[in-house]
Amino acid sequence: MLWYLIKLAIFLPLIAGLAWGSLRLAKRFEGRLSGGEGSAGLRIVETRMLSPTLRLAVIAFHDREILVSASKHGLVRLAEAPARATDGDDR
């Protein structure tokens, strides 16, 4: 019983730390691993979480910015406007 508690005290924080680290790493490289900017000029400008199941995203595509709502039921286009001028990546 004592050996079980020792293993639990060692491995539980280790597994929690690995999970936390992998989530941080995934968030850091979220948009970079998809191959960068494609030939069609599609990129995600900004995203915001509204709830655990609902996210707003601004997508730049061919000199237009499209506001979409993403949920588990799919995407819905909410608004569209001409693209803003960018001075570079200011994130």
**Per this entry, what is the length of the chain?**
91
Residue with tokens 């286009």: 77
The string of pLDDT tens digits covering residues 39-73 is 557 888 899 999 999 999 999 988 899 999 999 99
91 within domain boundaries: no
Q: What pLDDT is recorded for position 30?
A: 74
Instruction: Looking at the structure, tell me whether residues 74 and 39 fall in a common domain.
Output: yes
Coil, strand or helix at 53: coil
Residue 26 lies in domain: 1-30
In contact, 47 and 55? CB cutoff 8 Å: yes
Please indicate, yes or no, whether residues 40 and 82 belong to a single structural domain of this protein: yes
pLDDT band for position 91 (cuts 50, 70, 90): very low
pTM of the model: 0.51
Q: Give me the amino acid identity at 72.
A: K
**How many CA atoms, within 13 angstroms, populate the side-chain half-sphere of residue 7?**
4
| 85/33: higher pLDDT | 85
User: 49 and 20: one domain?
Assistant: no
Residues 82 and 40 reside in one and the same domain: yes
Which pLDDT tens digit goes with each residue over 8-39? 999 999 999 999 999 999 888 876 665 555 55
